[in-house]
Amino acid sequence: MKKTGSPSARSSRQSAAAAAAPDCEPRPSTLLGRTALVTGSSKGLGKAMAFALGAAGAKVALNYAHGVDDAEATWHEFEGRGWEGALCRGDVTDEKQVGKLCAEVHKKLGAIDILVINATPAQPQKPIEEYDWALYQQMLDFFVKSPFLLTRAVLGPMKQRRWGRIVNVGSEVFRRGVPNFSAYVAAKGAQTGWTRSMASELAPWQITVNIVSPGWIPVERHRDDPQADKDAYQALIPMRRWGVPGETMFTGQDLAVNGGMTVC
């Protein structure tokens, strides 16, 4: 028979494990008391995510870098629904501005518990001969540098509380290998790899790091895209319709609920 140690030793180990584990009692689906920062949330998918978090009870920092009119209109709509939050300006690819942004959120709403990394630049589709390195660098700044800067800025309090949620907004383009889109696809691939590494690194602190990869959702940035391109894309969707901000359109996926044993 395998020896497992004395009862007192086993009891000590069990007590230590219980102390390290998070409180897993069933709770209502609410984010009351949590503070969220959603980057690039003045419109589009970022706005929808910020509003969903507000509806769930979180205090939400809506972030923008440009487009003051859109940002203020979104903020008035958010505030008009009775939700708590703040409108915070900052370029999330600039180290100094990221520091100021996170400090402002902390001061106004409290330490950041939930970080949604959504901000994105324009995404021109061109053959590789028509790209230059400046465009590649811009994509890397938004999808690798920005997650790095933001996560580093919010980690301290998350580690202290042993709780945090970091969500990267990726894209289906990485798995699909979309042609004439190499700068964006490459950066999204790097973002995916970074997410996997962070998920493993931060799991011991009960901080989850995930990536959500939507398809083409026709938000404001796609207003002037050729209708023929939209029709061709929609024809490929098994649901035979466009997704819209605010819904999941989630089907056919395998979610591993195993504490990071498999990272995919």
Q: Is 85 helix (H, G, I), strand (E, B) or coil?
A: strand
How far from 141 is each of 8, 59, 117, 156, CA to CA, in Å?
Answer: 54, 27, 12, 23
User: 199 phi and psi, to 5 degrees?
Assistant: -60, -45
Interatomic CA distance for residues 88 and 37, integer angstroms: 9
136's enclosing H/E stretch is helix 133-140
For strands 164-169 and 85-89, give the pairing.
unpaired
Q: Which amino acid is at 127?
A: P
At CA 187, angle to CA 184 and CA 188, rounded to 5? Answer: 85
- The residues carrying an active-site annotation are 184
Concatenating the DSSP letter of every residue in 8-50 gives HHHHHHHHHHHHHS---S---S--TT-EEEESS-SSHHHHHHH
140 within 8 A of 189, measured Cβ to Cβ: no
In angstroms, rounded to a whole number, what is the distance separating the alpha carbons of residues 78 and 91? 21
